[in-house]
Structures are given as C-alpha cells and as structure tokens.
Amino acid sequence: MKYTTFTQRMEEHNEVLRKKGNSPFYSMLLALSENLIMVTKVIGEMVGTEIKVSSLEKEAREVEVVLEEIEETFAIILEKAFEDLIMKQVYEDLDPLLATLDDLIEDLNEYGETKGRAIPYIEAWDIGFFYE
C-alpha cells in the first residue's frame, strides 16, 4: 500500500471514528490513527526523497506492508459494534503491528539521522485502560 493510499483510508476511518461518539476507546483509536497519518507522511517524505536510493529500500517496502495490515485491522475493528469487540483481540491484532512499525522506524531513523532527519515514533496507543 502506498503511503498516500494509507493516509486516505485512515482519514476515512477517522470520519467513522468521529461519528462513534466520545467513547474513550474510539477517542484512543482516533488519536492513534491521527498519529499514524502524521508519521506516515514523514516516512513518505523521507522515502520519496532519499531512501529509495539507499540501502534501506527493503525497510521502506516493509513499512508499506505493515501499514496495509494496520489499515485492514482498523477496518475490521470499525465494522464491529463496540459490544462485540474483545479488547484482548484488538490488542493482539494491533500491538505487534505497531511494534514492527516502530522497529522499522528505528532502522529508517538510523539512516535519517546521518541526514539530519528523523521520523517520530508511534505515541497514541494505550489500550491498557480497556484491556481486561
């Protein structure tokens, strides 16, 4: 999935999240989605200008795969009613993907730091409040 496609789909998910009301769970997902969009834009800028010609092209492709899986997971979560969601399953579906994305960001940042650029890490993810 291309970075712009991911961003567009997550914006669509954000519209759904905003309509779900002020539930703390959906507010957390909205914050996570907005954080992912911001991080993805920074990654896209760096990849578009520098990484395609570097030794980190493989990591940049892996980021695209992880983003696609994250977007698909968001779509599945939003299709279900809150009452039908199992927080443990939401955690088990999203947490490994976000950890993988952070690992890839770390790899990209090792390259970016030599160029004076850095990608922020994922911050808006705290399911502990909902995890039973």
**Model confidence at 89: pLDDT above 60:** yes
Give, rounded to a whole angstrom, the gap between the first and last alpha carbons of the chain: 33
Residues whose CB is less than 8 angstroms from the CB of residue 88 and which lie 6 or more positions away in sequence, other chains included: 131, 132
- pLDDT band at residue 102, thresholds of 50, 70 and 90? very high
Question: How confident is the model over 39-83, as pLDDT tens digits?
Answer: 999 888 877 765 555 667 788 889 999 999 999 999 999 999 888
DSSP 22-60: S-HHHHHHHHHHHHHHHHHHHHHHHHHHTGGGSTTHHHH
- pLDDT band at residue 2, thresholds of 50, 70 and 90? confident
Show contacts of 93-100: CB within 8 Å, 24+ apart: 94/70, 94/125, 94/127, 95/125, 95/127, 97/66, 97/69, 97/70, 97/73, 98/70, 98/122, 98/125, 100/62, 100/66
Average pLDDT of span 77-90: 88
DSSP 61-106: HHHHHHHHHHHHHHHHHHHS-GGG--HHHHHHHHHHHHHHHHHHHH
**Model confidence at 106: pLDDT above 50:** yes
Q: Which residue has the higher pLDDT, 110 or 30?
A: 30
**Exposed, middle or buried by CB within 10 Å (0-12, 13-18, 19+), for 27?**
middle
pTM for the structure as a whole: 0.86
